Amino acid sequence: MATRHAVEQGLLHQHYPSLYGQTYDESEMDRRFGHLIETHQNLFGQVSPSVFSTAGRTELGGNHTDHNLGRVLAATINLDTIAAVTKRTDNKVVLISEGYPAVEVDLHVLKVVESEKNTTEALVRGIACAFSKRGLNIGGWQANTTSRVLKGSGLSSSAAVEVLCGTIFNHLYNTDVLSPVELAIIGKFSENVYFGKPSGLMDQMACAYGGIIGIDFADEQKPVIEPIQYSFSEHGYHLCIVDTGGNHADLTPAYAAVPAEMRKVAAYFGTNHLREVDQDTFLQALPELRKTLNNDRCILRAMHFFQENTRVESMLKALAADDINAYLSLVRQSGESSFCFLQNLYPSFFPEEQGLSLAIAMTKSMLGPDATVRVHGGGFAGTIQAYVQENELEDYIQGMEAVFGKGSVTPIAVRSKPSSCIAE
């Protein structure tokens, strides 16, 4: 039984390596899960909840390609959202996330509620609707969560919440019938239709699946997954995420313009997505494209898409061949392409604040001009990703935190376990 006492007696020790890699503190994790269960008892009066874990993700390659049916390379990471969960009999979901107001959703109402847009209530309702549409069971549950997936960090805290809620419905009421891919598709549906945010499928896929995966979205309803076993730490590198601090402007228009502009190029060729356009045909049409679209940024972003798509395939091959140098070279190319062609390092309407550009410049200053560093995730504000060697890590953290604040640098590791119930 998942009681606080059972956790303190080592109930979860067998799961920790697959959740957190090799760099976790066992007693600290026992305290974390024990406190989660105790909080559930205090909030809901239930002493033996089920315990769930869903991780954040890191994008390794394929920057802004998924929304045009492209290829991406991503990894589930050792920072997770954990939940203590028990069933309810009143067909309501009650979700209390540490540091946030309580969320309550009546599952008798499954249609879109316009006033809920951009809220967790919308995500929960959308996920329940998706289960119901598939002819699956839904029912009430209550949960408290705590998270180490940094909000706004490009590690996909919202996708982790979506996948977690899907995992709970899947486990409590459907005997885990849905695969990680199906849970990801449900999360994307909820985020797009109920929450109201345009997004691709990469975030949810990487949060749900576990490990490093190549994903080919040519058929978005049936993405092709290529898992690969690889350890950057065994090759002497720490994967670091640097949070440069949020731009407080509304960045939704900047994000939304990326897929929209790529699709403008696709529309010229009579298709909906760039993946359906032949690269050579695109290049031959450049003179006419430029006249017709009157938007050079559209064309540059399309160029990024085609090159990044090819690069992801090469990155997978480099990892499979255990060629770390070839892989790191491709990561650097990805970063340069995002900066120059995709142009998602800062919003064009707020050029005064360029934390991402500054963090990349500092990384190259500290680690050398050949440092492996790139924008991480959606961009425009938020985080960069750097590969830092062991002997440089301490100085790197100190130098970056002097500018971006204490705790702004997070070394991360790859997690192998998918989103799941880990104890009940």
| Residue 202 pLDDT grade (very low, low, confident, very high; cuts 50, 70, 90) | confident
Whether 402 shows a pLDDT value over 90: the answer reads yes
CATH code of the domain in which 90 resides: 3.30.230.10
- Calculate helix-pair angle for 157-174, 202-209, nearest 10 degrees: 60
Whether 38 and 82 map to the same domain: the answer is yes
- At 325, which CATH number? 3.30.70.890
Residues 78 and 217 in one domain: yes
In the prediction, which pLDDT does 121 show?
96
Task: List, for residues 219-248, the tens digit of each pLDDT value.
Answer: 988 889 999 999 898 899 999 999 998 766
Whether residues 204 and 264 share a domain: the answer is: no
Distance CA 25, CA 153 (A): 23
Same domain, 203 and 245: no
**Which of the four pLDDT bands, split at 50, 70 and 90, describes residue 43?**
very high
pLDDT bucket at 3, cuts 50 / 70 / 90 = confident
Q: Do 95 and 199 sit in the same domain of this protein?
A: yes
Least confident of 145-159, 189-203, 295-309: 145-159
Number of domains the chain contains: 2
Domain co-membership, 279 together with 137: no
For the segment 58-80, the average pLDDT, to the nearest whole number, is: 94
pLDDT range class, residue 389, cuts 50, 70, 90: very high
Q: Is the pLDDT of residue 19 over 70?
A: yes
pLDDT at 213 over 90: yes
Stronger pLDDT, 6 or 128, i.e. the higher one: 128
Confidence band, pLDDT 50/70/90 cuts, at residue 184? very high
pLDDT reading at 159 higher than 90: no
Residue type, position 4, single letter: R
Determine the pLDDT at residue 404. 96
Q: Based on the fold, state whether residues 173 and 238 are members of the same structural domain.
A: no
Task: Give CA–CA dist 224/343, Å, rounded.
Answer: 28
Residues 6 or more apart in contact with residue 248 via CB below 8 angstroms: none
Contact between 162 and 75 under an 8 Å Cβ cutoff? The reply is no
Identify residue 203 by its one-letter amino acid code: D
Could you tell me the residue range of the domain that residue 20 belongs to?
4-230+417-423
Average pLDDT for the chain = 93
Question: 202 and 241 in one domain?
Answer: no
Cα atoms in the 13 Å half-sphere on the side-chain side of 156 = 33
Please state the pTM of the whole predicted model.
Answer: 0.88
At residue 151, the pLDDT reads: 63
Residue 381 DSSP SS3: coil
Q: In the chain, pLDDT over 70 holds for what percent of residues?
A: 97
Q: Are residues 167 and 101 in the same domain?
A: yes
Decide if pLDDT at 401 tops 90. Answer: yes
Asked whether residue 152 carries a pLDDT value surpassing 60, the answer given is: no
Residues 78 and 94 in one domain: yes
Q: What is the pLDDT of residue 248?
A: 63
Residue 87, C-beta contacts closer than 8 angstroms, at least 6 positions apart: 139, 140, 141, 172
pLDDT score for 8:
84
User: Which of these, 333, 72, 62, lies nearest to 214 by C-alpha position?
Assistant: 72
Whether 160 and 186 share a structural domain: yes
**Same domain for 166 and 237:** no
